[in-house]
Amino acid sequence: MKKYLAILTLLVFTAACNRSPEYYFEQGNRLALSGRSMESVEMYNKALLLKKKYPEALTSRALVYEKLGDRQKAAYDYQKAIDMDPSYGPAYNNLAALYLDSGEYAAAVSRLSSALELDPSYAYAYLNRGIARYKLSDYPGSMADLNRAIELDPKLELARYQRALAAVKLGDSVTALGDLNLLLSANPGSAPVWFARGRLKYNAKDYPGAIEDLKKAVELKPGAGAYLYWRTLAVLKTGRYDDALKDLNLILQAAPAYARAWLLKGDVHALMRNLPAARESYSRALALDPANTGLYMVRMSALDRPVPATVMKPAKKGRKKTK
């Protein structure tokens, strides 16, 4: 019996040793997708032991390291994959995405440009370079990259969203609105897209339309202070001061250190001529944001100025019409 077990163990070990690096790579991908990160790393390690030049395994292992929060190991693996095979585009793209996340936008553009020299049809590289160029305020360059990404992959929703943002910066509201409408028709549950369209409508002075879009964004993501803040701005433009104050109170309950919300609350109270409440709100903003003291002092000084009396226009003189 013992001899039989020994032979069986040897057969299993031999079978395992005969498995290909591709087998371990595929197992690593399967485990990574199921959330078993450390086990997937072990599979990629085995694949790399059997196949020294395997940039796909290095890049996949780097993705797992990213998921685990170890950006240093991820960057090392991406760079090693590039050194191993300079023609492997995904390693450039993913390393550039790491640079994007850390705010190193110029480095990201450089890496992505290298990837696109290797593969001019790489839609994701155009997408990421478009984002990096947007962050660098190169809006025409961003627009060109995002246009190309969409040409290569019309279903790339993130490229349309980013193109809408770039179009807004370039004053092209038609392109921006077209992209946002298309995205919402495909995915009406996207809070950032409702928010972007709401801001676009606000800037176009369509305040009722902005309120509706921003309301939807708030419903989908109630904890987003920026969404409530912009809805408050739109509500304020319609003269609904009480509703604006309700929104501001909600924002400040969730984020009591939000200086901009205190500033806006002061503005609303000033418009309602509740000067003590306005002064208190401006003082709160000042305490939270002393770097902008001048802004708040100007607002408080304005509260001391007398409100000019309404000037009545004289009626036009003329002969009274007779029947």
Domain range for 294: 256-302
In this prediction, residue 4 carries a pLDDT of 37
289: left (phi over 0), alpha (psi -120 to 50) or beta: beta
Residue 274, in any domain of the structure: yes
Residue 148, in any domain of the structure: no
In this prediction, residue 118 carries a pLDDT of 87
Residue 215, in any domain of the structure: no
Residue 295, in any domain of the structure: yes
| pTM of the model as a whole | 0.75
In this prediction, residue 18 carries a pLDDT of 57
Residue 272, in any domain of the structure: yes
Positions in the chain short of pLDDT 70: 1-18, 307-323
In this prediction, residue 222 carries a pLDDT of 87
Residue 262, in any domain of the structure: yes
Residue 308, in any domain of the structure: no
The number of folded domains in the chain is 1
In this prediction, residue 305 carries a pLDDT of 79
Residue 297, in any domain of the structure: yes
